[in-house]
Chain A
Amino acid sequence: MTSTPLPLVVENLSFRYRDRPGAAIHNLSFTATPGEVLLIAGASGCGKTTLIRCINGLIPRSYKGDMSGQVLVFGEEVKDWKLSQISQKIGTVLQDPERQILGTKVVNEVAFGLENLGMPRAEIYSRVDEALNFLKIPHLRNRETFHLSGGEKQKVALAGILAMRPSIILLDEPLASLDPASAQDTLDAVRLLANQGLSILMVEHRVEDVLRIKPERVMFMSEGEIRYLGDVSGLSKVVNYREVKLPAEDIVERAKRDPAPAEIHALPGVNSLQLKQDALVRFEDVAFGYESKVEILHGINLQINRGDVIAVLGPNGAGKTTFVKHAIGLLKPKSGRVFVGGRDTNEASVAEIAGMLGYVFQSPSHMLFAPTVREELAFGPTNMKHTKDQIELEVKEALRIVNLSEKENDPPLALSFGQQKRVSIAAILAMRSRILVMDEPTAGQDYQNYMNFMDSILQMPGFEAIMFITHDVDLAAIYANRVLIISDGRLIADGKPQDVLRDFDRLRANRIIPTSLLALNLKRLSATGRFMRAEALAHV
């Protein structure tokens, strides 16, 4: 009896990029079976994306280097296949749907691959509708892709792949830019696809989120090699809970054996006597809209005080970035006023406000330009007319905090995305503004790195207040002493984390999904009196 070959067999696969030293992946061997979700986890730079590119054929076609070993799809080696052949068997959803979507309308986007294969129109329409119906998004068919929410974009990207009827789907960090509810929707769709018999390989940092859809197996990679490949229950036994975000109960169990983590003293430069002084930032009935008739922010009233560590939560497109851009004066209110350090932002330039309030943008590629990391970091302080000696110190300290001291002389644009993100944060840290505002500082970062730099940033002596936008509820629970929920341009909630985050119905209504750590913290709140990280809960 002849058995059907497996959808995917990877044998002794190694690859080294032509322009980089050392192998990106080394001697990888594994298989994927029909109907399985294989979660691939690991820190930034561990070789996950390289592996995906080797399987989908972009390596060696678009990215050159030395490749050895083989990738077999249904028993056939794909090395000599055309990309069009591969794309009919293997579909790839990239990290950011924004970077994958080409069509202006959903129907065109989903049909793109089928058009390229020269299929008859009737067949294309039928497959497009089939894919949209399967993902329960037929209502998006004639919408413009530009106006879709993050979660909708990700599903449309998935539908575009699905329409080509692949047997294997590769997802490269599909949740990175999504709010928790959109991430959940995407994951449900992925589970549904696996249940239909497709093989799914999903690279993802948000391991805990993926565990909810019960992946059949997990692969843990480190330095280009497979460190673990097996069922989910074995993962928490072999990986370091500081490297991969595991469910809170697992961390508590593991952390009991380790010494208690050091207590984080946020904003050490702020003493309790200063807390009652004037507000650092004040929003007075702020409303804003890019176009005259469409209002995005409605009647925002709040103060940012000394000692505040504020997490801003809310769905994709809720107006969070628009809100924080008012704090630095990049946007001016249509009505109402914003005061920073007592000055109306209408009467101060952004450069003047930057001395008071440092703002880290979401995407590092929009700001990095200098030939070396050191010069990149010196740019802000130089603009602020800091002295040479001061700048030297500020740059060194910022590099230490983001753990990039050894990259001081490297060109920032040659670094990995995660490292670039850290450079962009360091560039603002070096300016030593009194207030730090960060827009999704942890997006695209691996768990260990972002926890480390969040720890360091909070313990920097120079800041009087910190505000960060995030989709990560745990980040808000662990680090913030105040949580804002913004939804549909309105401030829905403003209070202590233990007050705002305990109302699960309100969280869900605002596309925020409670996590295991949040639930555990609430359960133990009477004993702890505040929210803590899982490692700390293990010792209470």
Chain B
Amino acid sequence: MLVAWRYRKRENSFIQSFDPRAWVIFFLCFLFSTLTFWDVRFLLFFFFIAVFSLVTSGVKWHEVRRAFLFIIGLVFFFGILTFLTGRGGSEVYEQEHLIREYRASFSILGWTPVLKVTVERAFYAVSQFVRVSSMAVMTVLIPYSLNPALYGITFKGLGLPDKFAYAMDLTMRFIPTFGRDFQLTMDAQRARGYELEKISGGIVQQVRKLGPIVVPVTIHAIISSEDIIDAMDLRAFGVGPRTWLDVLTYTTRDRVLIAVGVLILSASIMLGLMGFGKFWVPQVLVQMFS
């Protein structure tokens, strides 16, 4: 059976006060707009929208703690990795202004590790953090705020055909189901003395040793899909245009939200075309370390 995300109706939730279609449209506009910028001054605007949405969502910290700690950990990890290696930012800046250089006191096969802290690298890390966190916050809020019973009609309302809309509905619910099956398989194999954390050997060997987890999870996913297809076939799915039991109606505030989303996206694209929003570092710092 497909597991639902941890949605519930929340009192005074800003997100939930809108039609889900309106919020999805706004979310998509937000996402693409954020992607057009590297300038942290612009990105802060999106970060502010994300934080506002989070604070007014009615979602309690203990509900999303694990998800956020995971995402923040991931963003930090990649941010620091980029910062340390200097890779990843080279597409958005060409020159670097050195703040300080750290040289390791040891060499590996004649190579001495060097960490160059530059103005560009530092600001790239900050911009990346703001950019990715803004998108992550808005994405994490969706499963907690949108009613799973309305996924199908939401996608249908966004213009997808019946079959695609229902497929999207099932896909959205398949993700947490997959998580549950993964946990069950992990437990079943641990009860047979399997210890994922003790896997050793070369890469090929390590991948092979993941078989006890990967095979059952994959097979289970396939069997479940077949069951779902049978259950759908047996109740005449896909034979013609279907009626969607739930009805969604736009109100004025939904239209306003969509308009704001479209406006932000249009403005972002315009600004991007006009050359604004590219990677930025404060001139003061550049001059200081020139």
Let me know if B4 and A366 touch, CB within 8 A: no
| Set of chain B residues within 8 Å of A56, measured between Cβ atoms | 234
In the complex, how many angstroms separate the beta carbon of A364 from the nearest chain B beta carbon?
Answer: 9
Let me know if A58 and B216 touch, CB within 8 A: no
A370→B173 CA distance, assembly (Å): 29
A120→B170 CA distance, assembly (Å): 24
Let me know if A361 and B187 touch, CB within 8 A: yes
**Chain A CB within 10 Å — which of B62, B236, B244 has the most?**
B236
Let me know if B189 and A367 touch, CB within 8 A: yes
Which of A91-133 touch B at CB < 8 Å?
91-92, 94, 97-105, 107-108, 111-121, 124-125
| Set of chain B residues within 8 Å of A119, measured between Cβ atoms | 243
The reply to whether the CB of A333 lies closer than 8 angstroms to some CB of chain B is no
A164→B237 CA distance, assembly (Å): 13
Q: A119-B243, A367-B189 are in contact. Are A102 and B236 (CB under 8 A)?
A: no
| Set of chain B residues within 8 Å of A328, measured between Cβ atoms | 191
In the complex, how many angstroms separate the beta carbon of A320 from the nearest chain B beta carbon?
Answer: 16
In the complex, how many angstroms separate the beta carbon of A249 from the nearest chain B beta carbon?
Answer: 39
Which of B153-195 touch A at CB < 8 Å?
170, 173, 181, 184-185, 187-195
A359→B216 CA distance, assembly (Å): 17
**Chain B CB within 10 Å — which of A84, A104, A107, A114 has the most?**
A104
Let me know if A124 and B235 touch, CB within 8 A: no
Which of B205-238 touch A at CB < 8 Å?
211-212, 214-216, 219-220, 223-224, 227-238
The reply to whether the CB of B240 lies closer than 8 angstroms to some CB of chain A is yes
Let me know if A114 and B149 touch, CB within 8 A: no
**Chain A CB within 10 Å — which of B1, B170, B240, B247 has the most?**
B1
Which of A342-364 touch B at CB < 8 Å?
349-351, 354-355, 358-359, 361, 363
The reply to whether the CB of B242 lies closer than 8 angstroms to some CB of chain A is yes
The reply to whether the CB of A530 lies closer than 8 angstroms to some CB of chain B is no
The reply to whether the CB of A62 lies closer than 8 angstroms to some CB of chain B is yes
The reply to whether the CB of A390 lies closer than 8 angstroms to some CB of chain B is no
The reply to whether the CB of A30 lies closer than 8 angstroms to some CB of chain B is no
The reply to whether the CB of B2 lies closer than 8 angstroms to some CB of chain A is yes
Q: A101-B1, A365-B216 are in contact. Are A116 and B238 (CB under 8 A)?
A: yes
The reply to whether the CB of B148 lies closer than 8 angstroms to some CB of chain A is yes
| Set of chain B residues within 8 Å of A112, measured between Cβ atoms | 235, 237
Let me know if A146 and B3 touch, CB within 8 A: yes
In the complex, how many angstroms separate the beta carbon of A439 from the nearest chain B beta carbon?
Answer: 10
The reply to whether the CB of B202 lies closer than 8 angstroms to some CB of chain A is no
The reply to whether the CB of B239 lies closer than 8 angstroms to some CB of chain A is yes
Let me know if A87 and B236 touch, CB within 8 A: yes
The reply to whether the CB of A427 lies closer than 8 angstroms to some CB of chain B is yes
Segment at the B interface, from A190-198, A238-246, A379-387, A483-491:
A379-387
Can you sample 23 A-B contacts with CB below 8 Å?
A58-B230, A58-B233, A58-B234, A83-B239, A84-B236, A84-B240, A94-B231, A99-B228, A102-B2, A103-B149, A108-B149, A108-B246, A116-B235, A153-B1, A160-B235, A164-B235, A325-B187, A349-B195, A361-B187, A367-B185, A368-B216, A383-B195, A413-B219
* Chain B residues packing against A (C-beta within 8 Å): 1-4, 62, 148-149, 170, 173, 181, 184-185, 187-195, 211-212, 214-216, 219-220, 223-224, 227-247
